[in-house]
C-alpha cells in the first residue's frame, strides 16, 4: 500500500473537522457503517466491525462531540430488560 493511501482517512478526518490521529481509519469505518446501515447501537456496530463495544463508543463520542452524529434512545416495544437503555447513533 502506498503512503498516500494510508493517509487518506486522516486527510478526510481533517477535511471535515475531526481530530487527526491514529484512530482516523477506524472512526471512518464507524461513520461509514452508520451511513450504510442506518441507525445502530454501539453493540450492533461492534459486532459488524469486529470491535469491542467500548472502542465503538469511544469513536461515537468523538463523532457526537464534533456534531457529525446525533444520539437518541432506541425505542423498545414489549418487555424491557435490565440495565441502561440502548442508545442509537444516527
9 falls within a domain? no
Query: Does 61 map to a domain?
Result: yes
∠ CA 58-61-63, rounded to 5°: 115
Q: Structurally, how many domains does the chain consist of?
A: 1
Higher confidence at residue 53 or residue 69? Answer: 53
Residue 30 neighbours by CB under 8 Å, 6+ apart: 45, 49, 56, 59, 60, 63
Q: Are 2 and 53 in contact (CB under 8 A)?
A: no
Which pLDDT band, with edges at 50, 70 and 90, does 84 fall under?
low
Least confident of 5-19, 31-45, 49-63: 5-19
Q: Is residue 48 part of a domain?
A: yes
Tens-place pLDDT, residues 31-52: 999 999 988 888 999 999 999 9
Distance of CA 37 to the CA centre of its chain: 12
What pLDDT, on a 0 to 100 scale, did the predictor assign at position 46? Answer: 95
Amino acid at each position: 500500500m502506498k503512503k498516500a493511501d494510508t493517509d487518506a482517512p486522516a486527510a478526510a478526518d481533517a477535511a471535515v473537522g475531526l481530530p487527526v490521529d491514529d484512530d482516523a481509519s477506524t472512526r471512518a469505518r464507524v461513520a461509514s457503517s452508520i451511513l450504510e446501515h442506518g441507525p445502530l447501537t454501539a453493540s450492533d456496530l461492534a459486532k459488524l466491525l469486529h470491535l469491542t463495544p467500548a472502542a465503538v463508543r469511544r469513536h461515537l463520542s468523538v463523532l457526537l462531540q464534533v456534531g457529525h452524529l446525533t444520539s437518541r434512545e432506541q425505542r423498545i416495544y414489549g418487555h424491557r430488560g435490565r440495565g441502561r437503555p440502548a442508545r442509537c447513533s444516527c
